[in-house]
Structure formats: C-alpha cells, structure tokens
Structure 1
C-alpha cells in the first residue's frame, strides 16, 4: 500500500531495491524467503519502472539508469553472483530495450534476472541438437520492449523463463504483447506455476523442481518441434 499510494500515485522520485529474496536463491530457507510475486505486483502500479538485472553488469547499469530517471523505480535483485559469461565489451544496456545475448532463428528464449543464465545454457544445449536459439535478457519488464518481443515472434516458438510466477511476470507481459499484436507464434512460459514454492532444497534442485532450469527450456522447445 505504501509503495502503491505514496510512490506510485504520488509519482515520487524514489528508487526501491528488492534485495535478498527474489526467486529461489535461498532454497534452504523455505517458501517464506522466495519472493515469486514481486514483479507482478510492481508491474501493476502506474508510473513504476520495473527492472530485474541478470548479473552484476546489468545491476550496475540499472542502478545508474534509476538514478538518472525521474519517477518511482523498482529493481529486483537475487542474492549471489551469477556472471553470464558474456564479455561486457560486447553488451549494451538501455532501459526498455532487451539485450540480445545470442542470435538464433528457430526459437527465441526470453529471460529476466538470474533465469537468463539458464536461458543461455539452454541455447547451448539446443545448438547441440541442431536448434538455433535466440537468447534475450529482458532486464526491463516494465516498460517492456515490444519490438524485441515481436521480433522474437518471427521464430517458430517463443519461450520465457523467470524465477517468478508465470502469472503477471515476464511470461504474462510477453503474452499480452503477442495477443494484442495478433501474433500466431506459440508461447511457452517457464517459471513457477500457480503454486507457492513450498519446498526446501538447494538452489539448483529447486530450479529443476519448478521448471526453471535449462533442461526445462530444452524440453519445451523440442516438444514443440
């Protein structure tokens, strides 16, 4: 209520950092420490910009962009260091513009936050099976890069992956764009389904359990082939 009314309705120039709890990074601490709804909640607030960085590079750029921007701003962080392995010299960051990390023509994988690491790994696994995958980091979930989504729809399948519920998060946002544009490209949304992440385990175990690992992306892509 305070974020919605004081920041959103008041259009205050306040930056909020949602740190330590996003996704299933803290698998051993249980469901109470898995913030799987934050992007959806923040997307609903008018005037709010919502960013979920994939790694340290995007985090630094997002903080700089937030400081330079006017209006309320939410940056969702997961704990830990998850380098993507993509040289920073080959990358660019702009609010509202997806970053293409891998080119491909058969399928498009759109990730946000730490799930981008799994998207890149899925791209490598698919290449071994002869499937060319475009991988995008959709660090800015609001405002969403509609052009990048529609370009992704020119492949034969769009997949989204996020450490978040598929309702209201990246998958929901991409689905809205595709539906409004009348795009006929199939969409598969990978992430937490309409359940609580009520399990305790390692980070890797929980990603596999809830379909947020690279293998789930590969299965979805091959199943739609």
Structure 2
C-alpha cells in the first residue's frame, strides 16, 4: 500500500446513538407524536417512508393511521416520486428517511418532481450532520448546503423536542416543499425554559450578552447555551441567537444582532463549514456592510471518522468543552 495521501483512521470507543447527556431531560418521539396530533385534524396528511418508520418515529403515525401510511421499501427515489404524485392529488405527504438518503441518493427526484413544481411535500430526515457514528455513508454533513441550493425549498434545522413539536404544524401550514432535519427517539428538551416558540423564517434571541454573539441552529443551539453558561464562570458574556430556519434566513434579526459593537460573532453549526449557516450568515452581513470579528464552529471539509458521538464531537470541535476552549482562544 502506498503511504502517499493515506491518512490513518483513528480508533474510537463504541458507538452510541443518543445526543442527550446523561440525566438530561428528554421527550420521546416528538415528531411522531406531533404528526399524529396534526393528522387528527387534517385529513390530507399522509406518512411515507423508505423502510425506516421505526427509526424516524413514523411508526407512531402508522399505528394511529394505518390507512394513511405508505411503506415504500428501500427505494428512496420511488419514495420521492410517489410523494410528488400524492401531492398532485391533494395529499400532504410527510416523508421520512435518513438525511443522507434523501439529499444524496434521491436529490434529483426531489429537485425535478417536488421542488420544480413547488409541491406541498414535507421531507423530514433523521441522522443530520454528525448525529451518528457510522461514518461517511450515514453522516449527512453537507445536507443543508445541498437543500439550500434548491429553488422553492424551505430548510429547517430544529434544536430540540419543543422545536420539533412546534415545527410540525408550522410546516404543514406552509404551502410548498420543506426539508427539515429530524432528531428522533429520546430528544433533549432544552428550549422550554426560554419562553420559546417556533416561527417559520424567524430567528430567536434566547439569551443576551456583551462579549460574544453565538448564532446557531440544530443541536448546536443546545451546545451554545451550554457554552454560554460555562463561559459566564470566566466572566465571558455570551448571547445565543437560535436560527432554526436556514432558508429563508431571518436576515433582519441576524444583521441587527451582529451590528452591536464590541461583540465577536461566532456561527456554530452541525454541518460542514462549506455551504451551511455560516456562509449564509456571512453573506448577509457583508451585503449589509456589517463586519464584526467573525468565526465559525463547524465540521471540517473532509470525510469524518466513525465512532462514539462524544468522541467525535470532541474531535471535531462541536462539543461544549471544545467550543469553550476555542472561543476563549479567539478572545485572547
């Protein structure tokens, strides 16, 4: 074997599936329960999946509404094409699979059969970013970049159980295609204590601070809140702006908060550094003539290792402890 350009694979401990810390408050299957509640009052809602009902919490919908549940087998392209057909006939499909299979394997079918016709299909995908330890085949580190680039597509990255529960009726009320990341199983409950309510296309300031503005989405909002509490002990005052809707972006709120003088702006995302929230935010700031000290916490532009999530999150700098050290280093 040639030694040229061969990076050794680092070993990690056994893989785990949950992103919740030990003892953290969680709620079980928030997406599945919210979808069942929605469907009770909206007959057009149907559930569709590609052999992953149990692993996307859609099995709860299947049990409640078996006549409105469609198991398409391991055929993601067929899944998207069939969803488009149902939408043409007046149904509102909620489609689930893993994020890698939707955004990589079935991208063209979403693009041509759903997005081009602006159809009312909601694509809700598990294992976003680095939320699985199974390596590049299952790590959707570039899904937001791919879906942001698709015309007509609304893109959402929810933080926790509350975000997901409130997201479901909100995206159902929106007429058009939606791609949403999904946290499944026992999902952390973080935002309940912040008087938070999900609004499509709106960013929310969860806490204020004078030294650093953390702009985040998805699980990185949970991490950002942990970082803000930890850095307070070092007299670093951190604000956290949660941006659950990646497209359309709440430019007005982001620019307003980033315009405050004296604060470093850090965008934190569970996504490759290319094409995600960080690049979207930096473009809007530059277009508005707002130029604070700007940094990104994101996954590197490379294929990621397999292993246990705590190990991987620390390795790639998206764990709370790693973020604290990085931000303190930037502040000097």
TM-score range, shorter chain: over 0.9
TM-score by length of 1: 0.92
Report how many residues are paired.
222
Q: Which has the larger radius of gyration?
A: 2
Q: Which residue of 2 aligns with 1:186?
A: 293
Q: CA deviation at 1:7?
A: 1.5
Kept after mapping to 2: 8 A contact 1:159/1:190? yes
Q: Which residue of 2 aligns with 1:102?
A: 207
Where do 1:172-183 residues align within 5 Å? 172-183=279-290
What 5-or-longer segments of structure 1 have no aligned partner? Answer: none
Structure 1 residues 53-98: Cα deviation after superposition (integer angstroms, max 9, x where no partner):
1011101111111110111111111344342434257112211111
Aligned equivalents of 1:89 and 1:193: distance in 2? 31
Structure 1 residues 94-114: Cα deviation after superposition (integer angstroms, max 9, x where no partner):
111112222212111111111
- Alignment pair present for 1:218 and 2:324: yes
- Alignment pair present for 1:52 and 2:157: yes
Tell me the secondary structure at the aligned position of residue 215 of structure 2. Answer: strand
Structure 1 residues 113-152: Cα deviation after superposition (integer angstroms, max 9, x where no partner):
1111111111011111111111122110011111221133
Q: Which residue of 2 aligns with 1:119?
A: 224
Structure 1 residues 162-185: Cα deviation after superposition (integer angstroms, max 9, x where no partner):
111011111111111111112110
Where do 1:20-59 residues align within 5 Å? 21-27=127-133, 29-59=134-164
Identify if the C-alpha distance between structure 1 residues 86 and 78 changes in structure 2 by more than 3 Å, giving closer, same or farther: closer
Q: Which runs of 4+ in 1 moved over 6 A?
A: none
Kept after mapping to 2: 8 A contact 1:82/1:117? no
Which structure ranks higher in relative contact order (CA pairs < 8 Å, sequence separation ≥ 6)? 1
Alignment match of 1:129 (pick from 207, 210, 234): 234
Kept after mapping to 2: 8 A contact 1:159/1:217? no
TM-score by length of 2: 0.64
Q: Which residue of 1 aligns with 2:123?
A: 16
Tell me the secondary structure at the aligned position of residue 165 of structure 2. Answer: helix
